[in-house]
Chain A
Amino acid sequence: MLSVEGLSHHFDGVEALVDLNLQVAKGDVVGLIGPNGSGKTTLFNVITGIYKPAGGRIRFHDRQISGLKPHEIITLGIARTFQNLRIYKRMTVSDNVWVAQHSLPDVSLKELFFARPDKEREHREEVERLLELVFLAERRDTLAQNLTLQDQRRLELARALARSPELLLLDEPAGGMTPAETEKMAALIRDVAVPGHTCIIIEHKMDMIASLCSRICVLNFGRKIAEGRPDDVLKHPQVLEAYLGHEGMVHA
């Protein structure tokens, strides 16, 4: 479904991604791990067109998407969340999900001005269903800025799901959460995000990654240093070195 081929990107001479290859098939749940600054979020930004890659290409369903504009890429069926959490803070919880729905490509120009009541009702019902899924139905009329961090991350997930994407890119969905909250988030992702979607998940919390992902890809300084089943990859010497440093590995 998604095929990353020889992808390179750099910022002012700093190599962020180097000759990266990654194949994601329909239904895969791929964990993307690596130390801070190893290029994980950069990869998401290149996939979604925020950065134009310096080299290589990305294909989505046999169509080359590298070089397309962000909104064109997104419209093909990709949704994402953000490491630094982006929501519409001054909108209500339900509007946050609703706006993601109504910017779907099947909304016509006329509907920009005049909503169709039947479709509108359908959308609002879908919003309600998604809010139930992520346990935010009670807070539907709260301004998003007044939610806790945990709830804001859930809201982001609901918003991404609202676009019925084929490919879901989750960037640290449990970032900043306590272990208990992380466990809940992992369960939520397992229950609502994984079924029916192909996912790539960036996360530092190894338990979560190991429990959710069928495959893990490890980046370090923009290069892929390991890929495979979670059990194997997490024992890989280069992975241990990247995470714990050389001395850490000796003790481990």
Chain B
Amino acid sequence: MDDYVVSILSNIGMISFLALSAYLLLLTGEISFGQQAFFAISAYLSGIATAMWGWPLWSGLLLGALAAAAAATVIGVLTLRLRGLYFSIATLAFAEMVRLLFVIFHYQVVIDGEPVGPDGAEGFRDIRWVFENNISVTEYMVIIYTVLVIVLTLFFLLERSRLGSIFRMLGEDTLLTEMQGLNVIRFKVLASGIAGFIAGIGGGFYAHFATYLEPQNFSVMLGVHALVYGLIGGLGTALGPLIGVGLDIGFLEAIRAIQGYRMIVFGGLVAVLLIFMPRGILDEERIHWFRLTWRRWRDAKR
């Protein structure tokens, strides 16, 4: 595979984590414009762990994702009592705050006579674990997709579990769910924490793929994209956000002919889809239809 294709595919894989993260919150009925903050927190922290503290990649990733989950839990406790639009604005404000904190964040050590570490607006260079360990870009892509498949499998299991149905209950009607005797805030905070963890995995991969981070990478546009992926791909299944990512990065960004117009085409696509399919391509109704058809087909075969 040529490097361009590999980098596009790797991008799809890494952004998929962020899209799944935003999707999980969409399931519980919350629109977060701030998932890129957890992506960023993990990117920086896992980069610090491998490049400055000499940790192996997997433990750096885990640390980053756990820190992102912790941050998301705290933010969840603070903001999830807000309703609807107020929550969305709070997440947006938080994410910008995190980004600006990285602009003034300096933490460097000298390794082999060179300073290494986040240097504010100058960014964080030389997160070289992947190169130092002779992992090719193709191998790295395989690692990303292996973890993505694991996360996706867990996600499907989650959706089938009670917890998953509680998340969907919250997304449909919070008051009614409270009237089923559930502590809704606690479950929303839990969803936020899990979503933070998933975004964190993507962020860790991103840091070691890009080898260079700067605060500008984690602007609001990243979060808006993550959110829209679920909305266009569909809220009926965890495959929805992945379809969204594939459509945007795989299709629009990869086709060089329309590269300059990507955002225009993408914006138009979103507008059209949201008018005709307000809950995305694979929405609950279509997924329900697939399920019924599959069951009928299976029963007929017996």
Contact = CB atoms under 8 A, between A and B. Distances in A.
Q: Do A and B come from one complex?
A: yes
Interface of A: 48, 50, 69-71, 74-75, 79-80, 82, 86-92, 95, 98-100, 102-105, 107, 111-115, 141, 143, 163
Contacts of A105: 181
Contacts of B172: 88-91
Contact of B284 (A74, A90, A98): A90
Contacts of B7: none
B175 interface: yes
A113 B161 contact: yes
Nearest to A146: B285
Contacts of A163: 180-181
B180 A99 contact: yes
7 contacts: A70-B179, A71-B184, A86-B173, A98-B165, A99-B169, A114-B161, A141-B292
B161 A115 contact: yes
A50 B285 CA distance: 31
B81 to A, nearest CB: 13
B183 interface: yes
Nearest to A144: B172
B292 A112 contact: no
Contacts of A112: 161-163, 166
B197 to A, nearest CB: 15
Interface string B282-302: 001100100010000000000
Most buried by B among A48, A86, A91, A112: A112
B222 to A, nearest CB: 29
Contacts, number: 74
Interface string B154-192: 000010011101101100110111111111100000000
Nearest to A80: B179
Contacts of A143: 284-285, 288
Given A103-B182, A104-B181, A107-B162, 4 more contacts: A74-B181, A88-B172, A88-B176, A99-B165
B55 to A, nearest CB: 29
What class of interface size applies to chain B in its complex with A?
20 to 34
Contacts of B176: 82, 86-88
B181 A103 contact: yes
Nearest to B184: A71
A152 to B, nearest CB: 13
Interface of B: 158, 161-163, 165-166, 168-169, 172-173, 175-184, 284-285, 288, 292
Nearest to B169: A99
The 7 lowest CB-CB distance pairs between A and B, nearest first, are: A74-B181, A90-B284, A75-B181, A112-B163, A103-B180, A86-B176, A88-B172
B165 A102 contact: yes
Contacts of B162: 102-103, 107, 111-113, 115
Nearest to A70: B178
A88 B284 CA distance: 12
A12 B172 CA distance: 29
A115 B164 CA distance: 12
A118 to B, nearest CB: 15
B161, B176, B179 interface centre (most CB from chain A within 10 Å): B179
Contacts of B183: 69, 71
A77 to B, nearest CB: 10
A92 B158 CA distance: 18
B181 A71 contact: yes
Contacts of A87: 176
Contact of A113 (B163, B168, B184): B163
Contacts of B163: 112-113
A147 B181 CA distance: 25
A89 to B, nearest CB: 7
Nearest to B187: A112
Contacts of B284: 90, 143
A49 B283 CA distance: 34
Looking at B173, B175, B176, B288, which has the most chain A CB atoms within 10 Å of its CB?
B176
Contacts of A100: 180
Nearest to B180: A103
Contact of B173 (A69, A88, A102, A114): A88
B179 A92 contact: no
B295 to A, nearest CB: 8
A70 B180 CA distance: 9
A48 B165 contact: no
A3 B20 CA distance: 48
